[in-house]
């Protein structure tokens, strides 16, 4: 397994900091290179509130998706917010595989 590593970018709400850390550890031990978020704005990293920072971080996260072979969505309780939904759409448009912590709930679009 040495030398052949899949690159996975984690996506999801930063309110799920513990799930990010646990998932990063698990995926790393499974032999993957894991790219995560740099700040947890919903979990106390107030620097995210500085002018222009959220926009920069969103753009940076798209570059992290570009670097990955696939993304892994941290969707605790099935939660996927607008930013994460946008990242999933971007990943799909760029041909990335999308995996989820929890099976996503399919909504009836009737």
- pLDDT bracket for residue 106 (50, 70, 90): low
Q: Residue 38 contacts by C-beta under 8 Å, 6 or more apart in sequence?
A: 57, 60
pLDDT in tens, 42-66: 666 666 667 777 788 888 999 999 9
Domain boundaries, the chain: 1-6+55-73+88-97
Inter-residue contact 79 to 73 (CB < 8 Å): no
Please state, in angstroms and rounded to a whole number, the distance separating the CA atoms of residues 63 and 74: 18
pLDDT of residue 40: 78
In terms of C-beta density within 10 A (0-12 exposed, 13-18 middle, 19 or more buried), how is residue 83 classed? middle
* Sign of the torsion formed by the C-alpha atoms of 27, 32, 36 and 38: positive
pLDDT (tens digit per residue) in 85-95: 999 999 999 99
Residue 49's region, left for phi above 0, alpha for psi from -120 to 50, else beta, is alpha
């Amino acid at each position: 397994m040495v030398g052949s590593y899949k690159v996975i970018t984690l996506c999801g709400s930063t309110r799920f900091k513990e799930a990010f850390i646990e998932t990063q550890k698990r995926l790393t031990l499974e032999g993957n290179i894991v790219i995560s978020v740099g700040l947890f704005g919903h979990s106390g990293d107030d620097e995210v509130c500085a002018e222009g920072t959220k926009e920069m971080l969103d753009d940076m996260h798209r570059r992290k998706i570009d670097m990955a072979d696939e993304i892994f969505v941290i969707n605790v309780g099935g939660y996927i917010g607008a930013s994460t939904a946008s990242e999933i759409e971007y990943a799909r448009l760029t041909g990335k595989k999308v995996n989820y912590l929890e099976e996503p709930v399919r909504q009836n679009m009737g």
